């Protein structure tokens, strides 16, 4: 009988404390190991369950990877047993080892692209890419395929598999759209010809028509939040300051708020680059923003320190920062639920501040092009047009009284 165990090698930690995960195969009391290439902090790993703890930032990606690995292990055992020949732990490991990288296979190309994105410190994007690839691997029973075998039928079967497996339509859309992004990147790098199109005949119109639940607060609810004293609870106070800051700062994303430093505040302007699109933004510091900033100036360490107490100097790597942001975001959204219950306001999240800003600005008659520019919601080409044609002072004037 052969067994598979996922272990964390704490004997050789990296400088940041992360330790590599390995698999240990035991057959006839003989053991063989293979490194997986995944690194994780020991306190994020559950030794008893042999899986990451749910608080781990990339929990779902790693959990799915481990599931696919166990599935492959069982398939390898079945294959070796069918041969009716003796085999040991090393034979199993050899079968579990990934094949040599071939840029013309889907899995290998996607993995290499994910690594390129990670080196650009686009951690959130890499996470979405990795999650999509993991889903596709499970669909394929972890069997790679050349691009030439990626056909419209494969895409159709993948879509059916996603939806029949209980995946929400919005999530299925993300996976399909991301898989198409991989293919477009392969075209750019001339891995496949420009004419290659496994999405031929596939329309995303039905997904784009899906209406998401309205998350905007009313002007009356904003006034309630503005006029409530949250000093009774430090966590509620921070959560509400971040919510209102996002609302006043043209719907600034939570990720960007977390990374905002005092050095980004120059001459009564906030200068930052949106993490999601790498687009630069300049926002005038109006009176409402100033009042919030004045609270946190009291604890400012230096000009290079973070404005809000979300990140600190100990969060050095992009991965550490993303994990920390994800952890704090969950706690803050929990605080919003508590605040909503207390003030009789329907459940809201950090995203509601962004959505509320757009909705109330539109009700005030602000030109839709200005709102799109402020949020950075439009496509890259359209956003570029807006950036070239709109003066930031016009935006400041339009939004200074919200």
The rounded distance, in Å, linking the Cα atoms of 126 and 304 is 27
| Range with top average pLDDT, 240-249, 296-305, 351-360 | 240-249
pLDDT at 7 over 70: yes
Q: What is the pLDDT of residue 334?
A: 94
The rounded distance, in Å, linking the Cα atoms of 361 and 243 is 16
pLDDT band of residue 180 (cuts 50, 70, 90) is very high
Query: For 115-142, what is the mean pLDDT?
Result: 85
pLDDT band of residue 252 (cuts 50, 70, 90) is very high
Q: What is the pLDDT of residue 371?
A: 72
DSSP string, 277-315: TTEEEEEE--HHHHHHHHHHHTT--STTSBSSTT--TT-
Task: For the beta carbon of residue 117, count every other beta carbon within 10 angstroms.
Answer: 19
Q: What is the pLDDT of residue 383?
A: 27
Nearest residue to 69 (alpha-carbon basis) of 41, 36, 40: 36
More confident residue, 399 or 35: 35
Residues 158, 199 contacting (CB under 8 angstroms): no
pLDDT at 326 over 70: yes
What's the mean pLDDT when you consider all of the chain?
85
Q: CA dist 220 to 9, 227, 260, 345, 360, Å?
A: 55, 11, 29, 10, 11
pLDDT at 328 over 50: yes
Query: For 140-159, what is the mean pLDDT?
Result: 91
The token pair that represents 104 in the structure block: 């013309």
Q: What is the pLDDT of residue 331?
A: 94
Task: Give me the sheet containing 19-27, strands edge to edge.
Answer: 2-9, 19-27, 30-40
Determine which of 118-127, 182-191, 297-306 has the lowest per-residue pLDDT on average.
118-127
Q: What is the pLDDT of residue 38?
A: 80
> Over pLDDT 70: what percentage of the chain?
90
Q: What is the pLDDT of residue 133?
A: 93
Query: For 380-386, what is the mean pLDDT?
Result: 33
Nearest residue to 200 (alpha-carbon basis) of 159, 169, 155, 162: 155
pLDDT at 63 over 70: yes
pLDDT band of residue 100 (cuts 50, 70, 90) is low
Q: What is the pLDDT of residue 397?
A: 63
Determine which of 102-116, 132-146, 384-398 has the lowest per-residue pLDDT on average.
384-398
pLDDT band of residue 389 (cuts 50, 70, 90) is very low
Query: For 171-182, what is the mean pLDDT?
Result: 93
The rounded distance, in Å, linking the Cα atoms of 350 and 337 is 11
| Range with top average pLDDT, 167-171, 293-297, 388-392 | 293-297
- For residue 6, list its beta bridge partners: 23
pLDDT at 388 over 50: no
Angle made by CA atoms 236, 295, 259, in degrees to the nearest 5: 75
Q: What is the pLDDT of residue 233?
A: 93
The rounded distance, in Å, linking the Cα atoms of 269 and 246 is 15
pLDDT at 156 over 90: yes
pLDDT band of residue 376 (cuts 50, 70, 90) is low
């Amino acid at each position: 009988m052969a067994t598979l165990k996922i272990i964390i090698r704490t004997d050789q930690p990296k400088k940041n404390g992360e330790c590599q995960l390995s698999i240990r195969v035991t057959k006839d009391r003989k053991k063989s190991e293979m490194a997986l290439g995944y690194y994780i902090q020991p306190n994020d790993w559950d030794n008893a369950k042999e899986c990451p703890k749910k608080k781990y930032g990339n929990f779902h990606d790693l959990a799915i990877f481990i599931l696919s690995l166990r599935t492959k292990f069982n398939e390898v055992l079945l294959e070796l047993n069918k041969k009716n020949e003796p085999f040991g732990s090393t034979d199993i490991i050899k079968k579990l080892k990934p094949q040599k990288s071939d840029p013309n296979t889907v899995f290998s190309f996607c993995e290499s692209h994910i690594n390129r994105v990670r080196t650009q410190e686009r951690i959130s994007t890499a996470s979405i890419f990795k999650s999509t690839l993991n889903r596709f691997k499970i669909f394929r029973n972890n069997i790679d395929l050349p691009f030439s075998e990626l056909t419209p039928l494969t895409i159709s079967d993948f879509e059916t598999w996603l939806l029949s497996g209980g995946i929400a339509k919005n999530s299925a859309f993300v996976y399909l759209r991301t898989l198409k992004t991989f293919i477009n990147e392969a075209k750019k790098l001339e891995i496949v010809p420009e004419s290659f199109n496994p999405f031929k005949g596939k329309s995303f119109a039905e997904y784009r028509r899906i209406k998401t639940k309205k998350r905007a607060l009313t002007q009356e609810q904003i006034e309630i939040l503005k006029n409530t004293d949250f000093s009774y609870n430090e966590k509620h106070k921070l959560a509400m300051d971040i919510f209102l800051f996002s609302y006043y700062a043209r719907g600034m994303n939570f990720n960007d708020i977390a990374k905002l430093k005092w050095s980004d505040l120059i001459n009564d302007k906030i200068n930052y680059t949106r993490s999601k699109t790498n687009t630069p933004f300049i926002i005038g510091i109006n009176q409402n923003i100033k009042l919030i900033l004045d609270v946190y100036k009291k604890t400012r360490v230096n000009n290079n320190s973070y404005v809000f107490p979300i990140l600190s100097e100990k969060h050095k790597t992009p991965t550490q920062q993303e994990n920390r942001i994800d952890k704090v975001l969950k706690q803050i959204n929990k605080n919003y639920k508590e605040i909503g219950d207390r003030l009789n306001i329907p459940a809201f999240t950090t995203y509601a501040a962004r959505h509320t800003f757009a909705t109330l600005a539109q009700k005030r008659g602000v030109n839709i092009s200005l709102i799109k520019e402020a949020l950075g919601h439009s496509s890259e080409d359209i956003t570029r047009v807006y950036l070239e044609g709109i003066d930031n002072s016009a935006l400041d004037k339009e939004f200074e009284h919200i």
